[in-house]
Structure 1
Amino acid sequence: MSRLRLLHITLWGPNVPLSTVEFGAGLTLIRGPSDTGKSFMVEAIDFMLGGKSLKEIPERTSYSTVLLGVQLPTGEVVTISRSVAGGAFSLYRSDLRSGPLPVSDENLAAKHNPKNDKNLSMFLLKHLDLDKALIRKNAQGATVSLSFRDLVHLCIIDETKMQSDVAPAITGQYTTKTKEISTLKLLLEAEDDSSIVAAQDAPTSARTTGAKIEVIDHLLSDLEAQLADAPEEGQLRDQLARLNGAIEDQTSAVEGLLAERAALAEQTREVQQAAQGARRELAEVGALQGRFGLLSEQYDSDLERLATIKEAGVLLGFFTPGACQFCGAEVADQRYNHSHSVDGTAFEDSVDAEIARTNELRSDLALTLEELARRGEETRGSWRNAAVRANALAARLQSLDEDLSPGDTTLRELMAIKSGVEMSLQLYVQIADLNRLKAEIADVTQADVAVVSNGLNLTALSEFSAEIAKRLAAWGYPDSSSVRYDRSAQDIVADDQYRSAHGKGVRAILHAAFTLGLAQYCLDRDIAHPGFVVLDSPLVTYRPPESGSPALLDESLPAGIVRDFYRDIQRSFDGQVIVMENLDPTEPLGPDAVDVVFTKTNGLGRYGFLPPKRSTGGLVVRD
Structure 2
Amino acid sequence: MHNYYIEEIIVRGNGRKDASVVFTDGLNIITGPSNTGKTSIVKAIDFLYGAKKENAPFSIEDTGYEKVEMLIRSRIGKFSLQRRFDENKIVVEEILRSDTRRLYGEYSARNGKMTISHFWLSLIGIDNTLQIIKNKDFVRQTLGWRTFSPSTLISQNRIDSETSVLLPDIRQQTAFLSCLLYLLYGDDFPDSDEKETKEQRKVRRKSVTAYINESLSDLYEQYEVAKSSLSTSHSMDLKKSLSDMIFELETVENEINAALKEGKMVSKEIYAYDQELQEANLITNRYQKLQTQYKSDIERLTLIVDGERLINAHNDHTASHNCPFCNGELGQTEQTNYIEASRAELQTLISQLADLSEANNETREQISAISSKLAELNSQKKRITETINAELKPKATTLKEKITDIENFIGVTQQLNAMQEMQTKLKSDLETLENEPEDKSPVYKPKERFEVDFYTEMTNLLDSMLSKMSYKPTEFRNAFFAKNDFDIKINGNPKIQGNGQGYTSFLNSVVVMAYRHLIFTRAEYKPSVFVIDTPLLGLDERNKVESQDSMKENLFRYFIDNQNEGQLIIIENTINLPTLDYSSFGVNEIKFTEDKNNGRYGYLYDIYN
What corresponds to 2:372 in structure 1?
none
- 1:410-469 per-residue CA deviation (whole Å, 9 max, x = no partner) reads xxxxxxxxxxxxxxxxxxxxxxxxxxxxxxxxxx9xx99972223332222212322333
Q: Give 1:510 shift.
A: 1.9
Structure-2 residue corresponding to 1:569: 559
Q: Please tell me whether residue 453 in structure 1 is matched to residue 481 in structure 2.
A: no
Letter in 2 for 1:566: F
The alignment status of 1:581 with 2:578, answered yes or no, reads no
Name the residue aligned to 1:110. 109
- Residues 50 and 121, structure 1, Cα contact 8 Å, conserved in 2: yes
SS at match of 1:466: helix
Q: State whether residues 541 and 552 of structure 1, in contact with CA within 8 Å, keep that contact through their aligned partners in structure 2.
A: no
Instruction: Summarize the Cα distance change of 1:24–1:471 in structure 2 as closer, same or farther, 3 Å threshold.
Output: farther
Counterpart Cα distance in 1 of 2:187 and 2:512: 20
Counterpart residue identity of residue 71, structure 1: R
Question: Hey, what's the Cα distance between the residues in 1 that align with 2:41 and 2:161?
Answer: 20
Counterpart residue type for residue 6 of structure 1? I
Cα distance, 1:458–1:27 mapped onto 2, change above 3 Å: same
Question: Deviations 1:314-338 (Å, cap 9, x if unpaired)?
Answer: 99999x9xx965798656999x9xx
Aligned match of 2:218? 304
Gap change, CA 1:59 and 1:568, over 3 Å in 2: farther
| 1:539 to partner: Cα distance | 1.2
Cα deviation for residue 302 of structure 1 reads 2.6
Distance 2:442 2:87 in 1: 34
Cα displacement (A) at 1:495 = 2.6
- State whether residues 138 and 448 of structure 1, in contact with CA within 8 Å, keep that contact through their aligned partners in structure 2: no
Would you say 1:534 and 2:531 are equivalent positions?
Answer: yes
User: Given the superposition, is the C-alpha separation of residues 575 and 105 from structure 1 closer, same or farther in structure 2, using an over 3 Å criterion?
Assistant: closer
Counterpart amino acid of 1:12? R
Change over 3 Å in CA distance of 1:78–1:355 after alignment to 2: closer
2:479 to 449, 464, 483: 483
Tell me the distance in 1 between the aligned counterparts of 2:470 and 2:61: 39
Match of 2:167 in 1: 170
2:178 is the counterpart of 1:182: yes
Q: Deviations over 1:308-362 (max 9, x none)?
A: 47767999999x9xx965798656999x9xxxx979979849948988999xxxx
Query: Deviations along 1:104-140, whole A, 9 cap, x unmatched?
Result: 4431222266xx5x43111121221223343211222
Q: Which residue number in structure 2 is paired with residue 3 of structure 1?
A: 3
Give the number of the structure whose residues are more often helix, by fraction. 2
Return 5+ residue gaps in structure 1 as ranges.
207-286, 359-443, 544-550, 616-623
> How far 1:43 moved relative to its partner?
1.0
Equivalence map 1:209-288=2 (5 Å)? none
Post-superposition offset of 1:69: 1.2
1:34 corresponds to which residue?
A: 34
Q: By how many angstroms is 1:192 displaced?
A: 2.6
Judge which range, 305-314 or 477-486, deviates more. Answer: 305-314
Q: Report the Cα distance in structure 2 between the residues aligned to 1:346 and 1:78, rounded to whole angstroms.
A: 70
Alignment of 1:84-233 (within 5 A): 84-94=85-95, 104-111=103-110, 116=113, 118-132=114-128, 133-172=130-169, 174-199=170-195, 201-204=196-199
Distance 2:37 2:600 in 1: 11
Q: Provide Cα deviations, 1:546-579, integer angstroms capped at 9, x if missing partner.
A: xxxxx55764974401221121111134211110
User: Residues 494-513 of structure 1: matches in 2 within 5 Å?
Assistant: 494-501=490-497, 502-513=499-510
Q: Output the TM-score relative to the length of structure 2.
A: 0.60
Cα distance between partner residues in 2 of 1:301 and 1:347? 12
User: Do the aligned partners of residues 182 and 607 (structure 1) sit closer, same or farther apart at CA in structure 2, a change above 3 Å counting?
Assistant: same
| Contact 2:226–2:406 (Cα < 8 Å) also in 1 | no
- 1:597 pairs with one of 565, 572, 591: 591
Distance 1:205 1:153, change over 3 A: farther
Shift in Å, 1:184:
2.9
Distance 2:417 2:227 in 1: 12
Secondary structure of the corresponding residue to residue 604 of structure 1: coil
SS state of the match for residue 571, structure 2? strand
Other structure's SS at 1:68 match = strand
User: Superposition pairs for residues 326-365 of structure 1, below 5 Å?
Assistant: 348=413, 351=416
Amino acid at match of 1:106: G
Q: Output the CA distance in 2 between the equivalents of 1:86 and 1:480.
A: 49
Which amino acid in 2 is paired with 1:300?
E
Q: Distance in 1 between matches of 2:139 and 2:48?
A: 30
Question: Alignment RMSD, CA only?
Answer: 4.5
Partner SS state of residue 517, structure 1: helix
CA pair 554-104 structure 1, distance change in 2 beyond 3 A: farther
Question: Structure 2 vs 1, CA of residues 315 and 537 (structure 1 numbering), >3 Å: closer, same or farther?
Answer: farther
- 8 Å CA contact retained: 1:112, 1:119: yes
Distance 1:205 1:166, change over 3 A: farther
How many Å apart are 1:604 and its aligned residue?
0.9
Alignment counterpart, residue 603 of structure 2, candidates 598, 603, 609: 609
Q: Contact 2:593 / 2:600 at 8 angstroms: preserved in 1? A: yes
Shift, 1:524, TM fit: 1.5
Aligned partners of 1:10 and 1:66 also within 8 Å: yes
Change (3 A) 1:77 1:103: closer
Aligned to 1:523: 520
Q: Separation in 2 of the partners of 1:306 and 1:554?
A: 85
The answer on whether the counterparts of 1:539 and 1:553 sit within 8 Å (CA) in structure 2 is no
* Alpha carbons of structure 1 residues 352 and 511: separation in structure 2 relative to 1, 3 Å: closer
In the alignment, which residue of structure 2 is the partner of 1:79? 80
Shift of the 482–73 alpha-carbon distance from structure 1 to 2, 3 Å rule, reads farther
Q: Which residue number in structure 2 is paired with residue 399 of structure 1? A: none
Q: Secondary structure at the match of 2:172?
A: helix
Task: Give the gaps of 5 or more residues in structure 2.
Answer: 249-398, 400-404, 424-437
SS at match of 1:462: helix
Between the aligned partners of 1:558 and 1:468, the Cα distance in structure 2 is 18
**What secondary structure, in the 3-state scheme, does the structure 1 residue paired with 2:11 have?**
strand
The answer to whether residue 455 in structure 2 is matched with residue 465 in structure 1 is no
| Equivalences, count | 427
CA distance in structure 2 between the aligned counterparts of 1:90 and 1:9, rounded to whole angstroms: 15
Report the Cα offset of residue 28 of structure 1.
Answer: 0.5
Matched with 2:20 is 20
Distance 1:192 1:332, change over 3 A: closer
SS at match of 1:160: coil
| Cα 1:580–1:49 shift into 2, 3 Å | same
C-alpha distance in 2 between matches for 1:342 and 1:105: 72
> What is aligned with 2:72?
70
CA distance 1:330–1:47, shift in 2 (3 Å): same
Taking a change above 3 Å as real, the CA distance of residues 349 and 87 of structure 1, as seen in their structure-2 partners, is: closer
2:442 and 2:153 mapped to 1: Cα distance?
A: 26
Contact 2:63–2:607 (CA under 8 A) maintained in structure 1: no
Percent identity for Structure 1 against Structure 2: 19
- Say whether the 8 Å CA contact 1:14–1:63 is kept in structure 2: yes
Q: Which amino acid aligns with 2:125?
A: D
Return the letter of the residue paired with 2:64.
S
Contact 2:60 2:85 in 1 (8 A): no
> Is the CA contact 1:34–1:542 (under 8 Å) kept in the aligned structure 2?
no
Give the 5 Å matches for 1:366-385.
none
* 2:556 counterpart letter in structure 1: Y
> Partners in 2 of 1:170 and 1:612 — Cα distance?
38
Query: In the alignment, is the contact (CA less than 8 A) between 1:3 and 1:528 conserved in 2?
Result: no
Which residue identity does 2:92 align to in structure 1? Answer: L
Displacement of 1:145 in angstroms is 2.0
Q: Which residue of 1 aligns with 2:257?
A: none
